[in-house]
Structures are given as structure tokens and as C-alpha cells.
Homo-oligomer: A and B are copies of this chain.
Amino acid sequence: MSGYNTEQKKLIIDFFSENPERSFTIDQVAAALCERGAPIGKSTVYRLIPRLTECGMLKKFSEVSGRKNLYQIVICEHRCEHFHMKCKICGKLFHMDCAISAALTEKLLAEYGFSADKENTVIFGVCLDCRSRGGEQSL
């Protein structure tokens, strides 16, 4: 992320990092931070979350039903670009191996000439654990 390092950026990243499996609306983040007395204003939260998303630190979803936009932290070991999968039940984000991501990308390119944007795509579904456990859809 470019620009100055400010306490407010850190507050937001820390908040998301505390809840790596959950996604939040901007408003929820602002409310949660303000409630705990963090020194950050609503407008700053609205300003920073989209910027953190653009630089890849957060990932944005829109609810399957409903109209709210949700943000969640992306914790990536891998440096190469890859797709992400999100479990609609538990909320976890999964990383598609780079090799599999690349194979998919190549397939779409070969077949349709379509150049997929790994960064901005999220594949929704249900993860292994939740499939065995059953449960309610949260997203």
C-alpha cells in the first residue's frame, strides 16, 4: 500500500486479522472499531477499506443474496497469482494452488481467448469440513 503509514491503516488491518474467517461490511468495521474506542472515524474507514482492497490486502465479495458488499482479509503465503475460493458456510477463504490456477487460466485462454483476472475473482462454494458437517449458509 502506498502513502504514509498511519495508525488508522493498522487499526483496520488488525481488525480484519483478528477475524480471518469472517467478512464484514465497511459499516460493521467502522462500528466495531469506534465501539472499542479506537481512534478512527467512520469516513476514514470508508476511505481506507477500498484502498486496502485495491492493493490486494482485502478481498471484496457481494452477498449471494442481498446487496451488501463484504470485505475479508487475504492471508497469502504464495506470491504467484492464484484464484481464491470462499466457503459460503464457514466463511473461510481458500487458495487455489498456483499450478491449478494457471491450468485453469490457460484452459480459458486456449478455449475462449478469455484472460481471467485471478485477483478479482472469487469462486463460491462449500468447503470439505462444512460439507461433512452440514450447516447453514452464511453468505
Contacts and interface: CB of A to CB of B under 8 A. Distances in A.
Interface residues of A, number: 39
A111 interface: yes
Contacts of A116: 85, 123-125
B94 A112 contact: yes
A2 interface: no
Given A54-B65, A97-B111, A123-B123, 13 more contacts: A62-B69, A67-B69, A85-B114, A88-B120, A96-B108, A96-B112, A114-B126, A115-B125, A115-B131, A117-B124, A117-B125, A121-B122, A121-B124
27 contacts: A26-B67, A50-B65, A53-B65, A62-B69, A64-B117, A64-B120, A85-B108, A85-B112, A85-B114, A87-B114, A88-B120, A96-B108, A96-B112, A100-B107, A100-B111, A104-B104, A108-B123, A112-B127, A113-B127, A113-B128, A114-B125, A114-B128, A115-B125, A115-B127, A116-B123, A116-B125, A117-B126
